[in-house]
Amino acid sequence: MTQWMSASAMWRMKIMQMSHERYRDLFLLSSSICIGGILLTMPDMIASSGQSEQSGVLEDRLLHNYPNPFNPETWIPYSLRESSDVAIEIYTLDGRLVRNIQVGKRPAGDHITKDKAAYWDGHNDRGESVSSGVYFYTLKVNGRHVASKRLVLLK
């Protein structure tokens, strides 16, 4: 059973009943604490200015591409806390850069639909079709690495 309560305008507390015995002792998980089978989670403080409150997005996030596996094209969704310059980089398993997709300045919020997500057509920076295989993609926001995920190209 999960219940959400507002602890203040800036904090939320999640109470979740944990049934498994190993969670019954006191332990800490980042900003969470478990006492007597109750998991209390206090997320990071919500920024009090600008786009993040308006968009409802609390952090920059990279989501899973779709479809995955794909052929010949895929969309890479992401969320932005505030208006930012966005780039997606595609790498081989051995770390070679295959494609640098400069998405440009994007507004705060979720970019998950085909018309808003980043698009990759399975070509490298020279316009050549890449081979089938596993690749990694990374989200960079204002030049800062946010996250990486794996995608599969099947031909």
pLDDT at 102: 97
- What would the pLDDT profile of 91-119 be if each residue is shown by its tens digit? 999 999 999 999 999 999 999 999 999 99
Quick one: 35 and 69 in the same domain? no
| Domain presence at residue 10 | yes
Number of domains present in the structure of the chain: 2
Range of the domain at 23: 2-41
pTM: 0.65
Contact 71, 122 (CB under 8 A): yes
Provide φ and ψ at 88, rounded to 5°.
-120, 130
- pLDDT, the chain, mean: 75
Q: Where residue 55 sits, what CATH number does that domain have?
A: 2.60.40.4070
Q: In this structure, is residue 46 part of a structural domain?
A: no
77 vs 54, 90, 121, CA distance in Å? 19, 14, 15
- Is beta strand 27-29 parallel, antiparallel or unpaired with respect to 38-41? unpaired
Instruction: Tell me the per-residue pLDDT of 59-101, one tens digit each, with 9 for 90 and over.
Output: 999 999 999 999 999 999 999 999 999 999 999 999 999 999 9
Same domain, 21 and 89: no
